[in-house]
Structure formats: structure tokens, C-alpha cells
Amino acid sequence: MATEHSDAAPERGEGGLPGKPGPVSPSVAEPTHSTEPLPAKPDQAGPETVSPTGQATGAAPARVAQSGAYLTTAQGARLHDTDHSLKAGARGPVLLQDHHLREKITHFDHERIPERVVHARGAAAHGVFRGYGTAAEVCKAAFLAKDVETPVFVRFSTVLGSRGSSDTVRDTRGFATKFYTDEGTFDLVGNNIPVFFIQDAVKFPDIIHAGKPHPDREIPQAQSAHDTFWDFVSLHTEATHHTLWNMSDRGIPRSYRMMEGFGVHTFRLVNGAGETSLVKFHWKPKLGVHSLVWEEAQLINGMDPDFHRRDLCDAIEAGAFPQWELGIQVFPDTPDQTFEGIDLLDPTKIVPEERAPVQPIGLMTLNANVTNFFAETEQVAFHPGHLVPGIDVTDDPLLAGRLFSYLDTQISRLGGPNFAQIPVNRPQAPVNDMFRDGMHQTAVHTGVAPYRPNSLDGGCPFTAGADTGAYVETPVRVSEARKVREAPASFEDHFTQPRLFWLSMTPTEREHIIAAYTFELGKCYEQAVKERALGVLANIDPVLCEQVAAGLGLPAPEPTVPLADVEASPALSQLGAAWPTDGRVVGIVADKAADLSGVRAARQAVLDAGMTPLVIAPAGGTLDGDGEPVTVQRTFATARSVEFDALLLAGAPAAGADAYGARDAKAGSPLAQGTDPRVLLLLTEAYRHGKAVGGWNGASALLQSAGIDPGGPGVITAESGTAAVAATTEALARHRAWDRFPPAL
Ligand code: HDE
């Protein structure tokens, strides 16, 4: 049957949608080029659901909970029963027609998305970044201007483990920051180690295959202590520098709040006058850089696999907001892109801070926990190519591969190309792209001409001028080159900087490094791998090599390259200074016969110092005596030393009394006898891990029964609870009593 044609324009709704009548564009000639900007039409402001400026951005995601009185289906129909499937009789078969049953289970079946191929295990928080204005000389990005406040979302992660793996494994940590700036989203996707394993992205699948569990048994989980990892890093000696950082205390951070962050690659900044500089980004934690000790890290993996995640949430919830200063090392943008002989395009090299100081440009404060882990932490999608005007990339070959990889991986991880519409990924700046349709499209785009130039949608949108636009590349010369699969000669030096790092460590830190290599290589089975790894160490330092070889029971090989003559960089050491103690955890061991008013005062003093007190007692509930009952947070059964930065033993009520002896008769508690093995374990472990331990008014006897010298370094014996807390705070500022075990080196 012939269709009836009409000359009249088809009826079109507002903005081109069928249904509602709306204005119809007058017929115009075929568009050629825009002569001058046409006035924007109302529907050119961009799809509201994608970019509602000031509304549901990633920084303040739309909050949806079970709201309203009635449970409904996904279609909004009220349900009267969600506990019984529809059956043919109470004991009969379940009927396929039960829509609610099918919908509920189908949705559940699809609740998981693929975990990140690397950095699967992570934790995140919201915050703000405030520029100091000091970057203006080198960068025109508006969010770096003085006192501009920009919402941020930060995700910390381990690299190798699965989503459910433990937090305190020896590994690199991711430190990815999303700045929701008014000029678009800028992602600084960095690590807590300033160098990387490889110099070319093409090797990334190889290093990750080597580090991940073996493909046959899928073990070990979240570990580098196995043959394939050491096989790879000993064959690719460019990995030596990063591996050395991993084996140092940087590989086992005490907290995400106590880690540095690094952009790793060299970036190019552009200022308002169009002048360029090369820079390296640094995050400096206000709390200093601190680590666990290896035995402690291993214990935590069993006792509290969520240790870092919990620590971050607890600190933010307690108001101890973690802060980092953002800083840049600035280098002239010379054609050779080197600084004092260091190749700035080589991601296995640092520039020592002594040679190029880190200049602070802003402060980041994390002040809010996520509301929903999946919606925010799991679905956040970072990309080193998310740049804003004033920030550009360089030709670091590792970065080039990353610029491809992150978008690609999000498409499979988040199920299509529209992941920027997920609340946590929505920019703060208005979005007016011409991307249309695709899986999980949530915007109802109006208009008919998502192409340009166009005349049907008023010619909109227009492109920005070169002075305000992003992705205005600096015209760096790249031609006159041959196509090659090669690396520059400077990339071949794999040992100078590892030696620099080693020489910059204190004796205590060197001992930890030796112990780490000895542990990891001791877990390898292949003799050839161990021997090759020792050969690498010989090229860093003979002492390091000899000590590890002795631990493995193998001969120490000779170096195959001359040892580099380098100056140490003291800034690389994390020991020696005093730092704020905010958010540290102080355990106070007490029983009902203890000096409870002292316990109350000690708790208050810990809180006043911005730290968290946890009372540990023989049983849960409260400790009742004179005054307010003291709430018990941990019992001898649930507490383990690794949860605390310091441990204090509550003294006896009367000054001068032999607290634990005197209370033995009175209270009859195991603590009073001073012999409860769980208390002794708490003390000895904390002592062995270099932590502040002690107490007040008679604690010495119990310390002695645990084999701890009350006069030893970092051991606190005070007259009162508040005095004990004051001494503890002082000790904690230096993190650990390292002088308790003088290093042998
Ligand atoms: Fe990544 N990296 N990476 N990476 N990376 C990913 O992207 C990749 C590299 C880093 O919390 C993936 O969204 C390649 C260096 C962090 O969500 C993936 C190469 C640095 C995170 C990917 C590198 C990083 C990732 C996996 C070599 C420090 C977690 C999931 C060329 C400067 C971000 C995802 C988050 C995640 C690829 C090397 C940091 C597969 C190909 C160097 C912090 O796209």
C-alpha cells in the first residue's frame, strides 16, 4: 500500500523529541561553514542529566537510598511479599511467572563488574583542593589559582592483588586524584613510588603477567615474592630502581595518609603567555611518610585485611582529615628534555629534590568518606589523558601507552563508552560533547545536529579559542625522525639511580631493604632466578648483595658494571624528622581495678591530641568503678598489637602502689597478675615493632615481666595517665623507636 506523503514538516516535539509540539527549524540551505557564531539555542546547554553544573557532580553524587514506605519493583510497582517465591501450593514447584523472583535474582546475578586488571583493591575519599596561586608563573590552569577550591576524589590502591586481597602486602600503591575543575576534569593518576618498572608501555602486560599469581594454581595472591616476578625484574634490569623502592619501607606504608604521591612521568605546563616548562608532580603528606615493619604487615594481612581502608575511613570520620601538599619540580623545556644529565622522558629516573626543589602549589584535604563503595570507589574511572588547559603530556613512551589504555579498559570494565555519565565520573564543568547513544546512555539529548558545523542547531556548539581550549598541543618538533623500535641510549643506565637510592637510606632503612630482598628471593624456588637477582644487586651495592646472598646461602657475585659515583639524596629517607600524630591509635590496657580516672583522663588527652584512644580490657562492656563507667572497645580476645601505634598500661588507683601486684588480690583478673599471655603478646609484639609502649604508676613491673626494659628507648613510665599520653605523643611524632635495635650495618 502506498504511503501518503505530505509536504508539511513532520511534527516534532521540543528539541526534536516526538510527542510534545515544539518549534520547528525553518528550512535552510545545506550547511557549508559558519560565518559567525549564531546565538545558542536553549537546547545547546548540554544534556542536563550528564552535566548539571553545581548539582549532581561526582563531588556530590545524587544520593538514592531505600526511600518511601513501600518496597517496589524496578518499575515502581508496590510489592506485598519479597520473602516467598510464587509456588503451586506451599510444598509445590516454583512458578516461572514470578516476575519479582526473576527480577530480583537476575539483578543480583549481574551485581559484579570486572575488577580492574591492575589496582583492583582500593579505597577512596572525597575532598577539596585549594591552590596557592604559586603555579601561575608556569601554569595557566584555573584550579591552581590562589584560593580557588576544587572538589576532588582520590582513590588509593595496591597493584597486584584482587579486589578482595589484603591491604598491607608489599606492593606499589596507586594514588589517583580526580580534580573536578571548572575547566574540565583533570586526573593525576600517580603512584606512591616516583619511578616505574618499565620504560615502554609495550612491556606492561609482561610485567603484570609476571607479578600476578601463577596461571596454573593462581597463587600467590597479591605478592611479588615468587619466581615469575623475580624472573622478569632480573631479566629486565630497567626494573631495578622501582623494585628497590618496593623492597624498601615504601612498599609497606603505615597508612594511605602517610604516603607520598608522584605523577611519575614528566608533564609539560603552559602559562598564560604560552611559555612551557617541564614538571614532575609530587604529593607531600602532612603527616610525613611512614611505614609498617614487615612482620607487622604480614600479621595485619591476617588480623585485619582492611587495615588501610579502615584507617582512611576512621581518620576522616574522626575529623583527622588527611592532607597533602601538591608540589612541582620545574625544569626548563629544552629540546633534549633532560635536566643536568637526567633524561626527563625516562620513567625509571627521578630528579633528586636537592637538585630541583619541590615547589608547593596547593593543598588537598580529604574530608568525606564515600557513601557507596560500588557507586564511587569501584566505578570511578581515571585517565592520565584527562587534562585541562595549561597541562600537557610529554613523549614519555610509558605515558603514551597509558593514554590509550585507560579509556580502553573503562569501556570493558564499565560496560560501554558512557561511563563519564556515572555520578562519580561526571565533570563539574558543563559538558557539551557530541557523543551520542551507546550502552548505558542516561542522557536524553535534545537537538537534531550532533555534528559540526551545522546550521540546524544554530551552529552550536562552537570551538574555544586556542587560549582557553584544552588539548592545544605545544608544537614540539617530532618530524625528521626515522620510524624505529628503539629506546634512547640514556634509557640504558639501569643502576646509577638505584645506587643513589641505596646510598640515601639510613642504616635502619638499609637493614629493612636487605631483609625484604632476603625474604622475597627466599620464597623463590628457581636457583637461576635467585642467582640472576643477586647479580642485579651486585650492580647496586656490594654490601646489599653480600648480605642478601648470605641470607640465601649463596655466593655473592661480582658487579658487571662499574659502581656509579653518585651523591646521596637525603630527601629520599623517611626517617629522622618529627611529624604530626593526628589519627594515630593509642591502646590503653585496663581492668576494673585500674586507675579509672587516669584512664578517663588519658582517653581525653589522646582525643585532645587528635588521636584515637581504644580501651582494651579482659572482657567487653564497661569498666565500672568511681565516676563514669569506661567503655571497653577491645578485649584481650579481639585486640592484637598491630592495630595500635602505641600501647599504655593503666596504672593502679593509688600513687606509688605496685599496681598489678596490689590488684591481684583485689580484682583477681588475669591482667592484675601481669601474666595473661595475651597482654604479654601485645606488649612484646609492639615492642619488637619499635612502637611506644609503657604506662603509668606501677606499669614497670608488667613491662619487666614481658622482658621489656622500662628505661629503654621509646618505653614510657609516667606518674599519671595524662603524662603517659604526653610522652607517647612525643614518641609517636618520630613514628618508631628505631634506636631500640641499633642497626648492624
Ligand atoms: Fe596504570 N592502569 N598503567 N599506572 N594505574 C590502570 O586503568 C596502565 C602506570 C595507575 O584507582 C588501569 O582504570 C598501563 C603508571 C593507578 O582506578 C589500566 C601502564 C602509573 C591506577 C592501567 C600503566 C599507573 C591504574 C586498570 C604502562 C603511575 C588505578 C584499571 C604503560 C604513574 C586507578 C584502570 C584507580 C590503573 C594501565 C602504568 C597508575 C589497565 C598500560 C606508570 C593509580 O588502564
- What's the per-residue H, E or C state across 434-453? CCCCCCCCCCCCCCCCCCCC
Cβ of 280 closer than 6 Å to ligand 1, yes or no, is no
Nearest atom (ligand 1) to Cα of 155: 11
Cβ neighbourhood burial of 514 (10 Å; 0-12, 13-18, 19+): buried
Nearest atom (ligand 1) to Cα of 404: 41
Amino acid at 584: R
Closest C-alpha to 389, from 129, 130, 182, 137:
182
- In this prediction, residue 464 carries a pLDDT of 87
Pocket test for ligand 1, best of 259, 382, 399 (most atoms within 8 A of CB): 382
Q: How far is the CA of 719 from the centre of ligand 1 (A)?
A: 52
119 part of the active site:
yes
Cβ of 116 closer than 6 Å to ligand 1, yes or no, is yes
Return the residue matching grid coordinates 581515571. Answer: 382
Domain boundaries, the chain: 122-425, 500-572, 585-740
Cβ of 189 closer than 6 Å to ligand 1, yes or no, is yes
Which residue has a Cα nearest atom 8 of ligand 1?
402
**Which parts of the chain register pLDDT below 50?**
1-61, 655-670
- In this prediction, residue 120 carries a pLDDT of 98
- In this prediction, residue 42 carries a pLDDT of 45
Phi-psi sector, 610: left (phi>0), alpha (psi -120 to 50), beta: left
Closest C-alpha to 171, from 274, 53, 252:
252
Yes or no: domain 122-425 corresponds to CATH 1.20.140.10: no
500-572 to CATH, choices 1.10.3720.10, 3.40.50.1820, 1.20.1370.20, 3.40.50.300? 1.20.1370.20
Pocket test for ligand 1, best of 119, 386, 414 (most atoms within 8 A of CB): 119
Cβ of 409 closer than 6 Å to ligand 1, yes or no, is yes
Task: Give me the catalytic one of 100, 126, 191, 236.
Answer: 191
Cβ of 190 closer than 6 Å to ligand 1, yes or no, is yes
Nearest atom (ligand 1) to Cα of 262: 32
Asked, colleague to colleague, whether 500-572 and 585-740 share their fold, the answer is no
CATH class, domain 585-740, is alpha beta
- In this prediction, residue 417 carries a pLDDT of 97
Task: Give me the catalytic one of 119, 265, 290, 735.
Answer: 119
CA distances to 61, 321, 437, 441 from 444, rounded to whole Å, are 19, 39, 9, 8
Pocket test for ligand 1, best of 155, 160, 173, 405 (most atoms within 8 A of CB): 405
425 part of the active site:
no
Residue by residue, DSSP assigns 696-729 as ESSTHHHHHHTT--TTSTTEEEESSHHHHHHHHH
- In this prediction, residue 625 carries a pLDDT of 83
Q: How far is the CA of 402 from the centre of ligand 1 (A)?
A: 7
The pair phi, psi for residue 43, each rounded to 5°, is -85, 15
660, 706 contact by CB (below 8 A): no
Nearest atom (ligand 1) to Cα of 191: 28
Q: Is the ipTM of this complex over 0.90?
A: yes
